[in-house]
Amino acid sequence: FWQVHRSAAEALTEAVQTAIDGDLFDPLAHNLDLYGGVGLLAAAVGDRFGPATRITSVESDPRATDFAAENLSEWLGARAETGRVERWVRELAAAASPTERARLAKGTVVLDPPRSGAGKDVVDTIAGLTPAQVVYVACDPVAFARDVELFQRHGYELTALRAFDLFPNTHHVEAVGTLTRS
């Protein structure tokens, strides 16, 4: 999947870079790019915070993960993994040592789920890792609103929101929101 709007990649790169609160961002934390596709948003994070930024991009499609690994090769701290996000974050939460949990709690999660949104299980698991901030890229306002409400139940607050008309002459709107622990 790739956005049809020819400026979408540039617009979303800038939006994600802007949405990340630099005061909350730790390049040495365990930062995540979930539903990472070919690594566009992980690369955006690396471009803003430097090539040693530690970020893991997770995508279920093996070909997209291969492209992500290639696209992220110049960022020393970046890696791409193939896995279903629901399962991958659940396994991460179950296996994380206290040290790794501390690195996750200082981390930033970039979340770019499909139109159906992340859903309760993924939101609950991410919130249980207590990242410093979540930058949520959404293509469906209803799923986004549902997931924001789920994050709010875990003490996160929507602190910034931008909308983009990447599908002119349709009802579709892309949104980028920042959630931080309150």
pLDDT string in tens for the chain (182-residue length) = 445 556 677 889 999 999 999 999 999 999 999 999 999 999 999 999 999 999 999 999 999 999 999 999 999 999 999 999 999 999 999 999 999 999 999 999 999 999 999 999 999 999 999 999 999 999 899 999 999 999 999 999 999 999 887 766 777 788 999 999 98
Q: What is the 3-state secondary structure (H, E, C) of the chain?
A: CCCCCCCHHHHHHHHHHHHCCCCCCCCCCCEEEECCCCCHHHHHHHHHHCCCCCEEEEECCHHHHHHHHHHCCCCCCEEEEECCHHHHHHHHHHHCCHHHHHHHHCCEEEECCCCCCCHHHHHHHHHHCCCCEEEEEECCHHHHHHHHHHHHHCCEEEEEEEEECCCCCCCCCEEEEEEEEC
- Which pTM does this prediction carry? 0.93
Instruction: Give 124-163 pLDDT, tens digit per residue.
Output: 999 999 999 999 999 899 999 999 999 999 999 999 999 8
Beta bridge partner(s), residue 110: 33, 135
What tokens does 26 get?
Answer: 């730790």
Give residue 172's identity as a one-letter amino acid code: H
Phi then psi for 25, rounded to 5 degrees?
A: -85, 130
3-class DSSP state of 178: strand
Which pLDDT does position 168 carry in this prediction? Answer: 67
pLDDT value of residue 7: 65
CA distance 2 to 17: 19
Residue 87's pLDDT is 98
Give me the active site residues, please. Answer: 139
- Distance in angstroms (rounded) separating the CA atoms of residues 120 and 9: 28
| CA 102 – CA 25 distance, rounded (Å) | 14
Q: What is the pLDDT of residue 10?
A: 86
